[in-house]
Amino acid sequence: MASRTHLSTAPARSPQGEFRTVALIGPPNSGKSTLFNRLTRLRQKVGNYPGVTVEQHTGQLSGFRDLTLVDLPGVYGLEPFSEDERVALDVLHGRMPGLPRPDAVLLVLDATNLTRQLHLAATVIALGLPTLVLLNMADLFAKREGKLDVLKLATELGAPVAMISAASGTGLDAIHRFLSRGRSVEGPTLLPVIPNAPQSRQWAAQVRTRSGYRAPLPSVWSRRLDQILLHKIWGPLIFILVVGAVFQTVFGIGKPLSDGFQLILNDVGAQAANLLPEGLLRSLIIDGIWKGLSAVLVFLPQILLLFLFIGLLEDSGYLARAALISDRTFSGIGLNGKAFIPLLSAYACAVPAIMATRTIENKHDRFATIFIAPFMTCSARLPVYTLLIAAFIPDTPVLGPFLNARAAVMMSLYVLGFVAAFATAKLLNSSAMKASSIPFVLEMPEYRLPTLQSIALRLVDRGTVFLKQVGTTILAVTLVIWILTTLPLQNGHAPALEHSVIATLGHLIEPVIKPLGFNWKIGVGLLTSVVAREVMVGTLGTIYGTDPNTHSLPLQAALRGELALPGAIALMVFFAFAMQCTSTLAVVRRETNGWKWPAIQFLYMSGLAYISALLVNQILSLWW
Amino acid sequence: MPTTPQPETLLSLKPGEAAIIDTFQLPEQIKQLLVRFGFITGAEVRFSRPAPLGDPLLYTIEGSDVALRADTARRILITKRIAPKDRESR
């Protein structure tokens, strides 16, 4: 990467004081995030997770000591229609708790698509904050014979303008100069008047003419690719192949990766066990913490792979086409194509998925998407499914070499979640929630090659979030479980599992779950997995790890002695439907502004899970 | 409800055909959303292609493709351009 022109490292000062908070704003696909990553390098804080209730990425700017750059969501305007736009507007007006009003704005526009974006420029400049207008993709613009007089455009806009290329890093020194002048920078000299749409358009047309703007030639590549990817027959076919390839890779390649990772983790545990003296401490570290954590850690490769694909699809521009292709299907259940992106992300994790619904302007569609997203088989269910399938389903072929029983069961569980989601959406559509009238409008971005930098940063983001979860919530739950299995101490030793506090708790709830085919140990797992689904595996790892009867057995073998086949299948069905994720509930509460929706969601999903698991166990028990 | 006999709408365009937008039979709020993408009285629109499953429809406006559902497109009245279609430029 050519970073000759990146911001110099000399701290900037100015007599009037430095900028403290600078907002980065721009429409979707303007390359805003690429610029943000380039300016802040890796020193960014990702707030896209519950607990950290900051919706924007903020980062320290290279070369500036006390300057925070706030990356706002991509918006077309500030009217606002979508939740994303509401957030952007709140930040710009200083109404976002914990975030001071920005001192200045960096407005990123796509130079190749300027006509449309002048509208946003007018609204942003009209806020009156010192604004630097950045015309990104300058290299593409020049290559495709676009023309523009930057100085004249600056005069028309009343704000400085710079041509940059965020991808290659050219022209970024203009940002440095702008920011280092600090508060000596004046606000826009004349504010664009935008009383209504026609006048705003007139103004834009005038700006275009006076600044000698000539739009670049349309991208030949995008046209050609669309001819294939949006073809009547090839389009849907490729769509199915792409979605299929994503899952095939995540489970085909991800599984061996996870298995290999598991071997390493086990080995580390065994080595560490040799170093520690026999006793409570070793039990705590190895049987308690390490077995619990590594049961969850092994899913890191698969989660990263899934996010790698989502990143590739999004950055390349294909995700918008996928939304277009699937809109017809979604409209049948009262959703729209913009639900495709959140629902695909929900296969990785419902939390970012629910945040991603902010781009859906239609309120009914957005709430319905939020409501059904947790039914999609998220990666936290994988540890549970994988464990149960490996323990109970034989590795026998079903469809010759193409499909074995284990893969078939895994696929059925995915289908089950999908069907539940669609049926629920249909239910919501026919119920009192009548669709509001904001229609589906979606711009097709040009196809672009995803950059290594942007993809790598996404993976670092998601990996960090996952590891944080393992290091905090799961570690805490694992510790509590270990303590409960160790108390009450008998002569300084842990009691037999049957006499531990955890057994007492487990037996307490046993009557409720017995009809589902679960014993008290599974019950403890269900209790702890309300925090997060994958905690179930950690909990069982700890319980069976401390139980001398199963201590030396792999978890799968230990489980086989505990559950009958109908109960195991009922347990999988239970996990397919149940809302066991406090992170999701927290994010739903925040996104819907209250406890009503998460409460309904929790009761609906858990009720469905209980009844389905009950039926499955009772019916299957007739045969087994 | 159409007031004129058979008003032409965005829906009556064939792929490749261009037209000038006349009026919107849509609420003010939706017009505000559409104007962001360039859908405004007097703007030139070209029907690019339908989505593979027939709906939504892609319209080229201000140099890029924007998807609208047929339900929205049929409420945007147009005047067809008679001029032979030239290579779209800007």
Describe the strand order of the beta sheet including A57-60 as a list of residue ranges: A44-45, A57-60, A68-71, A21-25, A104-110, A131-136, A161-163
Using the Cβ of A363 and the Cβ atoms of chain B, whether some distance falls under 8 Å is answered with: no
Pairing verdict, β B76-80 and B18-24: antiparallel
Q: Which amino acid is at A577?
A: F
pLDDT at B87 over 50: no
Q: Do B30 and A437 touch (CB under 8 A)?
A: yes
Q: A57 touching B, CB under 8 A?
A: no
Q: Calculate the CA B65 to chain-centre distance.
A: 11
Supply the pTM of this predicted model: 0.78
Of these ranges, A175-179, A195-199, A502-506, A580-584, the one predicted with the greatest mean pLDDT is A175-179
Interface residues from chain B to A (CB-CB < 8 Å): 27, 29-38, 40-41, 49, 51-56, 58, 62-69, 71-72, 88-90
Report the alpha-carbon distance of residue B10 to residue B44 in Å, rounded. 11
To test the contact with chain B by mutation, choose from A324, A330, A446 the residue with the greatest count of B C-beta atoms within 10 A, namely A324
- Among residues A67, A82, A48, the alpha carbon closest in space to that of A7 is found at A67
Give the residue ranges of DSSP H helices in chain B.
28-35, 70-73
Closest residue in B to A81 (Cα) is B33
Range with top average pLDDT, A255-264, A437-446, A514-523: A514-523
* β-pair partners for B57: B50, B68
A492-523 CB burial, b ≥16 within 10 A, e <16:
eebbebeebebbeebeeebeebeebbbbbbbb
CB A134, CB A175: distance < 8 Å:
yes
For chain B, say whether A435 makes contact (Cβ under 8 Å).
no
Report the run of H or E that residue A203 belongs to, with start and end.
helix A197-210
Query: Strand (E) positions, A137-225?
Result: 161-163
Tokens at residue B25, please? 């039979």
Q: Which chain A residues have a beta carbon less than 8 Å from that of B54?
A: 328
* Smallest Cα distance from B46 to chain A, Å: 14
Residues of A in contact with B69 (CB under 8 A): 327, 331, 439-440
Q: Which residues of B touch A200 (CB under 8 A)?
A: 35
Is the model's pLDDT at A45 over the cut of 70? no
Q: Does A115 touch chain B (CB under 8 A)?
A: yes
The 10s digit of each residue's pLDDT in A270-329 is 888 888 887 778 878 887 788 777 767 777 887 788 778 888 888 888 988 998 998 888
Nearest CA distance, A319 vs chain B (angstrom)? 14
* Per-residue pLDDT tens digits for B36-60: 888 988 889 999 999 999 989 999 9
CB contact under 8 A, B29 and A438: yes
Helices and strands: H and E segment counts in chain A: 28, 10
Give chain A positions within 8 Å (CB) of B86: none
In this structure, are residues A59 and A477 in contact, taking their beta carbons and an 8 Å threshold?
A: no
Q: Is the pLDDT of residue A553 over 90?
A: no
Largest CA distance in chain B: 35
Cβ contacts of residue A334 below 8 Å, gap of 6+? A364, A365, A368, A425, A426, A428, A429, A430, A435
Residues of chain A with Cβ-Cβ distance to B64 below 8 Å are 113, 116, 218, 443-446
Tokens (6 digits) for A171: 């022209």
Cα–Cα separations (whole angstroms), residue A492 to A282, A394, A400, A504: 14, 42, 56, 20
Strands (E) across A430-508 are located at 441-443
The confidence score (pLDDT) of residue A14 equals 41
Supply the DSSP string of A299-350, one letter for each residue.
Answer: THHHHHHHHHHHHHHHHHTHHHHHHHHHHHHHHHTT--GGGHHHHHHTTT-H
Q: From the list B40, B52, B56, which residue is nearest A201 (CB)?
A: B40
| Residue A32 near residue A26, CB atoms below 8 Å | yes
A413, A377 contact by CB (below 8 A)? yes
Its ipTM equals 0.85
Percent over 70 (pLDDT), chain B:
82
CB contacts < 8 A (A, B): 119
Inter-chain residue contact A444 with B88, CB threshold 8 Å: no
Q: Which of A76, A327, A443 lies at the smallest CB-CB distance from B51?
A: A327
Identify any residues that bridge with A49 across adjacent strands, giving them in sequence order: A52
Report whether B90 contacts A215 (CB < 8 A): yes
Chain A residues inside the 8 Å CB shell of B53: 236, 325, 327-329
Residue of chain A whose alpha carbon sits nearest to that of B55: A328
Answer yes or no: do A443 and B31 touch at CB < 8 A.
no
| pLDDT for A53 beyond 50 | no
With a cut of 50, say whether residue A75 has pLDDT above it: yes
Tell me whether residue B86 is exposed, middle or buried, using C-beta atoms within 10 angstroms of its C-beta: 0 to 12, 13 to 18, 19 or more: exposed
> HSE-up of A357 (CA within 13 Å, CB side)?
27
What φ, ψ does residue B45 adopt, rounded to 5°?
A: -125, 140
Tell which wins on pLDDT, A302 or A108. Answer: A108
Q: Which whole number is the average pLDDT over A102-117?
A: 89
CA distance A55 to A69: 13
Cα A24 to the center of its chain, rounded Å: 21
Read off φ and ψ for residue A179, nearest 5 degrees: -70, -35
Look up residue A416 and give its DSSP letter: H
The string of DSSP letters for A364-404 reads HHHHHHHHHGGGS--TTHHHHHHHHHHHHS---BSSTTS-B
Round the average pLDDT of chain A to a whole number and report it. Answer: 81
Q: Which residues of B touch A332 (CB under 8 A)?
A: none
Assess whether pLDDT exceeds 80 at residue A2.
no
CA distance A48 to A203: 37
For testing contact with chain A, the best of B65, B76, B89 (most A CBs within 10 A): B65
Interchain CB distance below 8 Å, B49 and A441: no
Residues in B touching A444 (Cβ below 8 Å): 58, 64-67
Residue B4's alpha-carbon distances to A376, B1, B9, B35, B72, in angstroms, are 48, 9, 12, 24, 19
